[in-house]
């Protein structure tokens, strides 16, 4: 008979983006009495980094713990976006059950499928939380049916299908087991966790096994390994062996152990089987490695991490404005920063190229890589990046590319345009549901390269009313011919100088301008989008010649259109193969790889000839 630790429960909260995980954790922290009554806590307290607060998404998995009626509940708040799926997978190893949060109106979305699949693969016990029950048009019973269908589709066993359901409004802090009536607190949710989530096995008398699932870094303590003790007991000062991924063994001493309570790390002297803890003292620790007692080395199975599907080239900035705005601009500094990112981000790969000033950086998706670039520019780095490309693999001797499962919610009148545009990007329609409310849900399988740059086109097509979600599905044989890509050419500056109002007005009829008057530009910099498919060079630095003659019609007052300002993600999606995005702490500029017009034309001719041959 196994001994169980009844004083502890380990759960992960999983959901699609924006279904309310982080808000739910906030309420659980408040209602469990973990915070003092006079303690000030920010909204979405778990989203601690600036980008998470700005975008309203969770990027890094975080852990917290609450005490409820004598039980310590360890909670892992996971990202909902598939680009951070590497975080989700590792967290599943640390817990015994999951809270699957589903929006009472939106129902099951692509990332719901993704995170649930990971949980079922680990045989975790699920509790379904139908959140936002107070929303207009909430349809809780239908959503529960959708969830049951999804469980069956993903091959859940009979025990997993018998999941309890809690209906909640995280924003109001209420929950209940009845969809038509809410209690005024979240007791129903806490009770469901205590009743249904299995307790960890208490095998603390056996030799220690602790596996690292997440990494943190602290200037005073160095690298910190966060993970679960699967067996045995760990004490401060204990001499242990670290089983490395390459099979080697490193000896070290545990200097500090931290437990979690609320948003704080609490220093503790010892921890035992079932506890989630952070450990310092081992400089070279990595995700998936096992800590054991000296002389009793026994490694746990290595954590499987999904491979990257998208790559970009990161380069030292060599534009005419290089070094003006950044603090760190050399290849040594950029390489150090990329290597340090590898210490905490296991879904990332950094490979050297033939050039010492360029690296191929591979990740799980555009968002994954753009978050890294955004963090780097905020830290003072200056660099250039190329167009994102999908990673092609050989599967059973066939060249294969990543294919995404796409789910789109749009008003009825835009369905035709969306189906046509995804058809042109080699999309294959799986399903179309019209629930009579004027909204239509479309499901497609689309090659990942067909989705690069699609979101801007999609928002224009649907006038901003459409919602697009996609998640990696599988590798499938390459589609022939061009898939996706930008159709429009660009306006390229032919001069160095400052963009003038007169210069901009003169070329406005050629397309959409990206810069404002007074912006410094250089030869080869992209300053707008052409209305046609070819690139043209323009002079937007031109100033009006002053003369002492007065024209008969005087100067007409000309109103200038507002320039199109693109975010970092939009800029990355916009790029073509012969272009770079120059990223500095103050600016995001698009440019041609070859700045000189004549050289560019020669290179284009050469590549055309090469293609014909």
For every residue of 129-174, DSSP letters joined together read: EEE-TTSTT--HHHHHHHHHHHHHHTT--HHHHS--EEEEETTTTE
- What does the pLDDT look like over 572-600, one tens digit per residue? 888 888 899 999 999 999 999 998 888 98
Tell me the mean pLDDT in the region 93-97.
87
Query: What confidence tier does 179 reach under pLDDT thresholds 50, 70, 90?
Result: confident
Domain architecture of the chain: domains with CATH? 8-196 (3.40.50.300), 209-293 (2.40.30.10), 310-390 (3.30.70.870), 397-477 (3.30.70.240), 490-546+561-612 (2.40.50.250)
Q: What is the pLDDT of residue 43?
A: 43
- Find the angle CA(126)-CA(53)-CA(185) to the nearest 5 degrees: 45
Q: What is the pLDDT of residue 511?
A: 87
Annotated binding residues, as ranges? 18-23, 131-134
- What does the pLDDT look like over 502-514, one tens digit per residue? 888 888 888 889 9
> What percent of the chain is modeled with pLDDT above 70?
87
Tell me the mean pLDDT in the region 327-333.
91
From the list 494, 525, 489, the residue with the least C-alpha distance to 510 is 489
Residues 6+ apart with CB under 8 A from 40: none
Determine which of 19-33, 38-52, 427-441 has the lowest per-residue pLDDT on average.
38-52
From the list 516, 510, 568, the residue with the least C-alpha distance to 535 is 510
What are the Cα distances from residue 474, in Å, to 392, 421, 470, 502? 12, 22, 12, 51
- Find the angle CA(598)-CA(601)-CA(603) to the nearest 5 degrees: 110
The pair of structure tokens assigned to 217 is: 């870094």
The per-residue pLDDT of the chain, averaged, comes to 81
- What does the pLDDT look like over 562-571, one tens digit per residue? 888 888 888 8
For every residue of 509-543, DSSP letters joined together read: GGEEE---TT-EE-TTBEEEEESSSS-EEE--S--
Q: What is the pLDDT of residue 423?
A: 86
Q: What is the pLDDT of residue 380?
A: 92
Annotated binding residues for GTP, as ranges? 18-23, 131-134
Q: What is the pLDDT of residue 352?
A: 92
Tokens 């015994």 locate to 96
Residue that wins the pLDDT comparison between 461 and 59: 461
Query: Does 232 have pLDDT greater than 70?
Result: yes
Q: What is the pLDDT of residue 319?
A: 92
Query: What confidence tier does 469 reach under pLDDT thresholds 50, 70, 90?
Result: confident
Query: What confidence tier does 523 reach under pLDDT thresholds 50, 70, 90?
Result: very high
Query: Does 391 have pLDDT greater than 80?
Result: yes
Q: What is the pLDDT of residue 411?
A: 85
Rounded Cα–Cα distance for residues 242 and 294 (Å): 9
Tell me the mean pLDDT in the region 119-147.
86
Query: Does 152 have pLDDT greater than 80?
Result: yes
Q: What is the pLDDT of residue 551?
A: 53
Rounded Cα–Cα distance for residues 401 and 424 (Å): 17
List residues bridging with 359 in a β-sheet.
314, 352
Determine which of 41-50, 439-448, 459-468, 602-611 has the lowest per-residue pLDDT on average.
41-50
Q: What is the pLDDT of residue 522?
A: 92
Q: What is the pLDDT of residue 547?
A: 61
How far apart are the two ends of the chain, measured CA to CA in Å? Answer: 74
Tell me the mean pLDDT in the region 540-548.
75
Rounded Cα–Cα distance for residues 377 and 563 (Å): 23
Q: What is the pLDDT of residue 32?
A: 67
Query: Does 61 have pLDDT greater than 80?
Result: no
Rg, Å, the chain Cα set? 27
Tell me the mean pLDDT in the region 352-363.
92
Q: What is the pLDDT of residue 527?
A: 92
Query: Does 298 have pLDDT greater than 50?
Result: yes
């Amino acid at each position: 008979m196994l001994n169980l630790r009844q004083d502890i429960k380990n759960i992960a909260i999983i959901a699609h983006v924006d279904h309310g995980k982080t808000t739910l954790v906030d309420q659980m922290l408040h209602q469990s009495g973990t915070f003092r009554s006079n303690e000030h806590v920010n909204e979405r307290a778990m989203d601690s980094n600036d980008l998470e607060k700005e975008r309203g998404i969770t990027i890094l998995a975080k852990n917290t713990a609450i005490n409820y009626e004598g039980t310590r509940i360890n909670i892992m708040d996971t990202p909902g976006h598939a680009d951070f799926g590497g975080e989700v997978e590792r967290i599943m190893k640390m817990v015994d059950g999951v809270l699957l949060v589903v929006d009472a109106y939106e129902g099951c979305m692509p990332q719901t499928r993704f995170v649930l699949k990971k949980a079922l693969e680990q045989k975790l016990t699920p509790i379904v939380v139908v959140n936002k029950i107070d929303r207009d048009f909430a349809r809780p019973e239908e959503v529960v049916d959708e969830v049951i269908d999804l469980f069956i589709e993903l091959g859940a066993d009979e025990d997993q299908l018998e999941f309890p359901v809690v209906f909640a409004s995280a924003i109001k802090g209420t929950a209940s087991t009845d969809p038509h009536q809410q209690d005024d607190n979240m007791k129903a949710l806490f009770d469901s966790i205590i009743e249904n989530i299995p307790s960890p096995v208490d095998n603390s008398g056996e030799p220690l096994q602790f596996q690292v699932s997440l990494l943190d870094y602290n200037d005073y303590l160095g690298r910190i390994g966060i993970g679960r003790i699967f067996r045995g007991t760990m004490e401060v000062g204990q001499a242990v062996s670290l089983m490395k991924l390459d099979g080697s063994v490193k000896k070290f001493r545990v200097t500090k152990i931290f437990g979690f309570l609320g948003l704080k790390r609490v220093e503790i002297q010892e921890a035992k089987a079932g506890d989630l803890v952070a450990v310092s003292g081992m400089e070279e620790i990595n995700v998936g490695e096992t800590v054991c007692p000296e002389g009793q080395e026994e490694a746990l199975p290595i954590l499987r991490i999904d491979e990257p599907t998208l790559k970009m080239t990161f380069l030292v900035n060599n534009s005419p404005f290089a070094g003006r705005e950044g603090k760190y601009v050399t290849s040594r500094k950029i390489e150090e920063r990329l290597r340090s990112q590898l210490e905490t981000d296991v879904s990332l790969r950094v490979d050297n190229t033939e050039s010492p000033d360029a690296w191929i950086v591979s990740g799980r998706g555009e968002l994954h890589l753009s978050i890294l670039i955004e963090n780097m520019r905020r830290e003072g780095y200056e660099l250039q990046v190329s167009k994102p490309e999908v990673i092609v693999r050989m599967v059973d001797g066939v060249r294969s590319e990543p294919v995404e499962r796409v789910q789109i919610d749009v008003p009825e009148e835009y369905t035709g345009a969306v189906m046509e545009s995804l058809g042109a990007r080699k999309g294959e329609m799986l399903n179309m549901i019209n629930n009579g409310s004027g909204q239509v849900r479309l499901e497609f399988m689309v090659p990942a390269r067909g989705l690069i740059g699609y979101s801007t086109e999609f928002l224009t097509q649907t006038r901003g009313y459409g919602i697009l979600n996609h998640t990696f599905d599988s590798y499938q044989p390459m589609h022939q011919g061009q898939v996706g890509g930008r159709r429009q050419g660009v306006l390229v500056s032919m001069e160095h100088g400052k963009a003038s109002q007169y210069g901009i007005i003169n070329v406005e009829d050629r397309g959409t301008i990206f810069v404002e008057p007074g912006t410094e530009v250089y030869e080869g910099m992209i300053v707008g989008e052409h209305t046609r498919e070819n690139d043209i060079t323009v002079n937007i630095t031109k100033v009006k010649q002053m003369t002492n003659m007065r024209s008969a019609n005087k100067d007409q007052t000309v109103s200038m259109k507002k320039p199109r300002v693109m975010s970092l993600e939009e800029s990355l999606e916009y790029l073509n193969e012969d272009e770079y995005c120059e990223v500095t702490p103050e600016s995001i500029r698009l440019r041609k790889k070859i700045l000189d017009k004549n050289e560019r034309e020669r290179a284009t001719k050469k590549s055309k000839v090469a293609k014909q041959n």
